[in-house]
Structure 1
Amino acid sequence: MDEEHALKHLIKLTQDGKLCALEKELGVNSKIARTVNKKHFGRSGDTLLHYAARHGHLAVLKFLIKDIGLDIELYNNDYKRGLHEAASMGHEECVRFLIKEGAKVDCLKKADWTPLMMACTHQNLGIIQELLSRGANPTLKNKDGWNSFHIACREGDPIVIQHLLLVSPEVWRTESKILRTPLHTAAMHGCEEVVGILLQRCGYDPDTRDSCGVTPFMDAVRNGHISVAKLLLKEHKSSPMATDILGAQSVHQVAVTAQEEALVFLVKDLGVDVNQTATDMQLTALHYAAKEGHTSTVKTLLTLGADLHVRDKKGRTALHMACIGQHADTVRTLLQLGLADTEDISGTMAKEHAKKIEVLNVFECK
């Protein structure tokens, strides 16, 4: 067996956790044994240490470090160490062993992710507790400004959230580089129980805004998480009328994401004006839905009282927006619902926006 095939064979043995066979192969071939000390494999640049940690083979991991002498801080092309792999994949015994042998508990991989951050992506409380007990810092931030608490709030395990707050009571006082808080993150992903904990135990200001002016309430409704939105209204006194930096309210954002149940909730339950205009362009929710080509949402808005004939600052109706977006089905629907009779449909502004043959054909058929 040549050296290349021998090395590939070692990878397979390591991944499968076959310690005896691995000991035999490395024992009879001292040259290969010396090679694997710093050998990186494939595009990822993984070492045998990475494979062993990723697959949770503790005995193999011990053999590679103690007997073969692999450096515990070996990193691959993404700067991942064995501790990142073990923490990410939920191998608690491997995590414990690596730290005991001197692995840096807050080592950084690409984009400045720590092993604790990796553990928080998989809601593994045991590993999180182990890392924290060994000095892992939950307030460290990655390149996007997220700390471990942000990540845990995205995943939505209330037990993990409570433990992080117990160990580091001020960990919630954090914002990403675009000013998003853990509350934004939990609301966006519909983690209702976590949102409840954050509202009860943390001091977030009502309607705190990120760099785009988006509030947690906006995040909840535009992603269809109505129960979370109701919780924010009840416990946090959030405003359904708050605006982002473009002047858009929740009703406009929900039209963009085509969350029709949320539209009904905003208009019927909360009394939001369906024809409320956003930004200095004076766009309505109907304009936004038409531009995105959300035909079903357009119909829902009309049942809620949206005005077909409202024009923006440039004189454009929802039909013009549908033409701009080249959405033939939405154009057809709007024409059928009555916009064919508006003064400029027969040959001017709307047709000028309809560039594709398919969209123009809709007008010809009318």
Structure 2
Amino acid sequence: METQDFYDAARHGDTEAVRLFIEAGMDPNKQARYGFPPLIGASYYGATEIVDMLLDAGSNPNVQGNRGETALRFAASEGHDSIVALLLQFGADPNIEQREGRTALMGAALGGHVDVIERLLDAGADPLVRSEEGETARSIAQAQGHKEANRILMCAAEEQKDNSAG
């Protein structure tokens, strides 16, 4: 059995195959051929049941791909709120930056996923973080025309600035 097969089963939502890989002792944190572990594949493709299985089997909720991507970043970018909630419940850090300095909050802002944005902010995501290009989650939402996301992020940024000053 290969890690790539484990990853493919996870991203395709094949619960029986994933269960067999876990029972066979395959490492759920090991990267497959293109640098992604099974948890990232399942999170990106919205396979909630698989994400739950992998986390229960000991998958690290902060495991990173070869460019620093996390399962939380992918789930947030795709608007998979239930997966974001699971990952946070298992200890995912909402402020991990991938190689370009992008965070899960920035991914949610890009897609205008308001529920995910609110969940990440409630979990402590920093709305003031800047990517290497100088973008914030708010500037990304604004550039994409996501008015409600922009409003929420503006309020969160102001609140954080006020709390830092006080």
TM range (shorter): 0.7 to 0.9
- Kept in 1, the 8 Å contact 2:121–2:127? The answer is no
Match of 1:359 in 2: 149
Aligned with residue 101 of structure 2, among 297, 308, 315: 315
Partner of 1:259: 47
Note closer, same or farther for the CA distance 1:364–1:238 as it changes in structure 2 (3 Å cut).
closer
Distance 1:327 1:342 in 2: 15
* 1-structure distance, mates of 2:97, 2:15: 30
Q: Which amino acid aligns with 1:268?
A: D
Task: Pick the structure with greater CA Rg.
Answer: 1
Q: How many Å separate the matches in 2 of 1:248 and 1:348?
A: 25
Task: Measure, in 2, the Cα distance between the counterparts of 1:218 and 1:267.
Answer: 14
Instruction: Please identify, of 246-255 and 347-356, the stretch whose mean Cα deviation from structure 2 is larger.
Output: 347-356
After superposition, the Cα gap between the structure-2 partners of 1:297 and 1:233, relative to the gap in structure 1 and judged at 3 Å, is: closer
Note if contact 1:331-1:359 (Cα within 8 Å) is conserved in structure 2. Answer: yes
Gaps of 5+ in 2: 157-166
Distance 1:275 1:234 in 2: 22
Give the distance between the partners of 1:360 and 1:233, measured in 2 at CA. Answer: 41
Which consecutive unaligned segments of at least 5 residues does structure 1 have?
1-205, 209-213
Q: Report what 1:229 is aligned to.
A: 18
Q: Which residue of the partner structure matches residue 344 of structure 1?
A: 129
Q: What's the CA shift for 1:342?
A: 5.1
Shift of residue 350, structure 1, vs aligned partner: 1.4
- TM-score with structure 2 length normalisation? 0.76
Report 1:1-366 matches (<5 A): 206-207=1-2, 214-215=4-5, 217-234=6-23, 238-269=26-57, 271-279=58-66, 281-339=67-125, 341=126, 343-344=128-129, 349-354=136-141, 355-356=144-145, 357-366=147-156
**Amino acid in the other structure paired with 2:149:** V
What is the CA-CA distance between 1:239 and the residue it aligns to? 4.6
Residue aligning to 1:103: none
Residue by residue over 1:272-295, the C-alpha shift from the partner in whole angstroms, topping out at 9 and shown as x without a partner, is 21111102x201110110111111
TM-score of the superposed pair, with normalisation by structure 1: 0.37
Give me the whole-angstrom Cα distance separating, in 1, the residues matched to 2:19 and 2:84. 24
Q: Once the two structures are aligned, what percentage of the paired residues are identical?
A: 31
CA shift digits 1:62-102 (9 cap, x unpaired): xxxxxxxxxxxxxxxxxxxxxxxxxxxxxxxxxxxxxxxxx
Count of matched residue positions in the alignment of Structure 1 and Structure 2: 150
Letter in 2 for 1:253: G
